[in-house]
């Protein structure tokens, strides 16, 4: 069925008409260009400030615009494309010509919850490492990553991670373990105040949460990891082939 243009606008919420107008404008401007103020758009488009604000907020959430406090709203830089492969963060960054760095936020031991126990093939309450790290690319915070691994299988892991930034290097060099396969899921979520602060964004902004469940070549579970990325800055790319 073909929808006539006036029928389309009749069904569209008002803010969406403003959003379409802004998308057209963004398409003509290079990244970093200032877009008209809320007040100006309200007058130009003969609509309310709330309507303009809703359109702008959605475009900020989608990574098309960026707000700079006290300065204005600008056309955003294109998103960073990040391949989805069975590699480590450190290896992936250097393969893409970037430099990776890591801040260790937490390296503690805790008792496995039902989910962690199930993922790692352990009994509920068994000792596990909880490793929380901020991952940076070219010194810009990219993701907050929380990994769980068996404490029995990897004694002294926290100490090694204070000396090395790559978990996969430590697993290989200290324990002879290489994660070779993984199941990875991607979901959306809203940034908590803590993630927002670490990733320099606003609480509630859209995030992409990647959960990786990785295994060694003999099928033993190695890690259960959740990585929180800014949904407005990253896109994940994977190559699909027929079976
Ligand atoms: C990626 C994966 C994580 C994995 C990490 C290891 O970020 N999503 O599941 O733990 O790589 O990276 P590195 O060896 O740099 O610590």
How many angstroms separate the alpha carbon of residue 176 from the centre of ligand 1? 16
How many angstroms separate the alpha carbon of residue 114 from the centre of ligand 1? 23
How many angstroms separate the alpha carbon of residue 88 from the centre of ligand 1? 4
Q: Specify the ligand 1 atom closest to the Cα of 182.
A: 9
Model's pTM, two decimal places?
Answer: 0.88
Closest protein CA for atom 13 of ligand 1: 166
- Whether the predicted pLDDT of 2 surpasses 80: no
Full DSSP string of 46-115: T--HHHHHHHHHHHHHTTSEEEETTTEEEEPPPPEEEE--SS-HHHHHHHTT--EEEEEEEEEEEE--HH
How many angstroms separate the alpha carbon of residue 54 from the centre of ligand 1? 36
The mean pLDDT value of the chain amounts to: 93
State the pLDDT confidence band at 6, using cuts at 50, 70 and 90.
low
pLDDT > 70: percent of the chain: 96
Contact 179, 218 (CB under 8 A): no
Per-residue model confidence (pLDDT) at position 206: 93
Q: From 133, 212, 213, give the residue whose CB has the most ligand 1 atoms within 8 Å, as the site to mutate.
A: 212
Per-residue model confidence (pLDDT) at position 73: 95
Q: Specify the ligand 1 atom closest to the Cα of 212.
A: 9
Span 165-223, pLDDT tens digits: 999 999 999 999 999 999 999 999 999 999 999 999 999 999 999 999 999 999 999 99
How many angstroms separate the alpha carbon of residue 85 from the centre of ligand 1? 11
What is the length of the chain? 243
Per-residue model confidence (pLDDT) at position 50: 95
Span 85-132, pLDDT tens digits: 999 999 998 988 889 999 999 999 999 999 999 999 999 999 999 999
Per-residue model confidence (pLDDT) at position 70: 85
In the chain, the domains with their CATH numbers are 5-75 (1.10.10.10), 80-237 (3.40.1410.10)
Strand, coil or helix: 223: strand
Closest protein CA for atom 4 of ligand 1: 88
* Burial letters 38-74, b for 16+ CB under 10 A, else e: beebbeebebeeebbebbbbbbbbebbbbeeeeeebb
Per-residue model confidence (pLDDT) at position 220: 97
Q: How many CA atoms lie within 13 A of 131 on its CB side?
A: 27
Give the residue from 7, 198, 151 showing the smallest Cα distance to 229. Answer: 198
How many angstroms separate the alpha carbon of residue 202 from the centre of ligand 1? 25
Q: Specify the ligand 1 atom closest to the Cα of 91.
A: 15
What mean pLDDT comes out for the span 75-84? 91
Q: From 100, 225, 228, give the residue whose CB has the most ligand 1 atoms within 8 Å, as the site to mutate.
A: 225
State the pLDDT confidence band at 9, using cuts at 50, 70 and 90.
low
Paired tokens of 235: 């896109």
As for ligand 1, residues whose beta carbon falls within 6 Å of it are 88-90, 145, 147, 166-169, 210, 212, 223, 225, 227
């Amino acid at each position: 069925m073909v929808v006539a243009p006036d029928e389309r606008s009749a069904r569209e919420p008002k803010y969406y008409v403003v959003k379409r107008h802004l998308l057209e404008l963004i398409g003509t401007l290079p990244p970093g260009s200032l877009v008209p103020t809320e007040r100006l758009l309200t007058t130009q488009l003969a609509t309310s400030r709330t309507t303009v604000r809703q359109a702008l907020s959605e475009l900020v959430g989608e990574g098309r615009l960026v707000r700079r406090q006290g300065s204005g709203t600008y056309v955003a830089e294109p998103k960073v494309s990040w391949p989805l492969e069975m590699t480590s963060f450190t290896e992936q960054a250097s393969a893409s010509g970037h430099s990776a760095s890591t801040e260790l936020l937490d390296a503690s031991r805790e008792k496995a919850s039902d989910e962690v126990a199930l993922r790692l093939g352990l009994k509920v309450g068994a000792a596990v490492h909880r490793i929380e790290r901020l991952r940076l690319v070219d010194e810009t915070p990219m993701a907050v990553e929380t990994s769980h691994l068996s404490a029995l299988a990897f004694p002294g892991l926290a100490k090694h991670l204070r000396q090395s930034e790559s978990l996969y290097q430590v697993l290989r060099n200290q324990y002879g373990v290489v994660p070779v396969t993984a199941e990875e899921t991607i979901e959306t979520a809203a940034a908590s105040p803590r993630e927002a602060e670490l990733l320099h964004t606003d609480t509630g902004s859209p995030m992409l949460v990647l959960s990786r469940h990785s295994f060694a070549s003999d099928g033993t579970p190695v890690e259960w990891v959740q990585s929180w990325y800014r949904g407005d800055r990253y896109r994940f790319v994977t190559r699909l082939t027929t079976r």
